[in-house]
Copies of this chain bind each other. A is one copy, B any other.
Amino acid sequence: MTEMGRRERKKAATRQSLADAALRLFTERGYDEVGVREIADAADVSVTTLFKHFPDGKEALVFDQDVDREAALVAAVRERPAGQSVPEALHRMLLGEHSRRVHTDPRFDDFLRLVDTTPALREYARRMWLRHEHALAAAIADDAGLATDDPGCRALAHFALEAPVLVRGSRDPDTALDRVFDLLGNGWSGTRAG
């Protein structure tokens, strides 16, 4: 299906080699203890080449596989079962994403630990994740029949995307996520009266 000439294949190989070297060195010795020159050396390419492949800089080396999560977010809103609210739909989808990933890739643990323990990477991950805010807000607005730039929709999208970041590090992340989406769904007043 994916027709790749020799050129693109080599390019992908180089990129992969860089990402692999970076992840290995970072997990071995820590993000701040590994320089970009050293990564380039380990992948046997020049520093300039490294930056041609990862123009967003050192942090981007860690997030090589940025798959189609935006589509999944929008779909969660659009194709939710009848009677399910938007916050509920997003809540379920985020829970699913999380548990699926953990039990799939073997070295995904190292990846998560690395990101969690490195402030620069946490920030970067958040920025990447929040890029989808616009698309998600648009989907919500469309669904609710409101203007595309409606502030309420933007807020819901933003808060829903921040939820996973916010609960990371909790003793019980799943329950914490429940609480956050309870707040978004029913409001502060709704969460107390029970």
A166 to B186, CA, bound (A): 21
Of all chain B residues, the one with the shortest Cβ separation from A184 is B188
Q: Which of A9-17, A33-41, A96-104, A152-160 contacts its partner? A: A152-160
Beta-carbon contacts of A161-183 to B below 8 Å, as 1s and 0s?
A: 01100110010000110011011
Q: How far is the CB of A124 from chain B (nearest CB, A)?
A: 11
A94 to B176, CA, bound (A): 26
**Pairs A–B under 8 Å by Cβ, sample size 27:** A85-B188, A85-B189, A87-B187, A123-B123, A150-B179, A151-B166, A151-B170, A151-B175, A151-B176, A152-B180, A152-B182, A152-B191, A154-B166, A155-B166, A155-B180, A155-B183, A158-B162, A158-B166, A159-B159, A162-B162, A183-B187, A184-B187, A184-B188, A185-B187, A186-B187, A186-B189, A186-B190
Report A's interface with B, CB cutoff 8 A: 85-87, 123, 144, 150-152, 154-156, 158-159, 162-163, 166-167, 170, 175-176, 179-180, 182-192
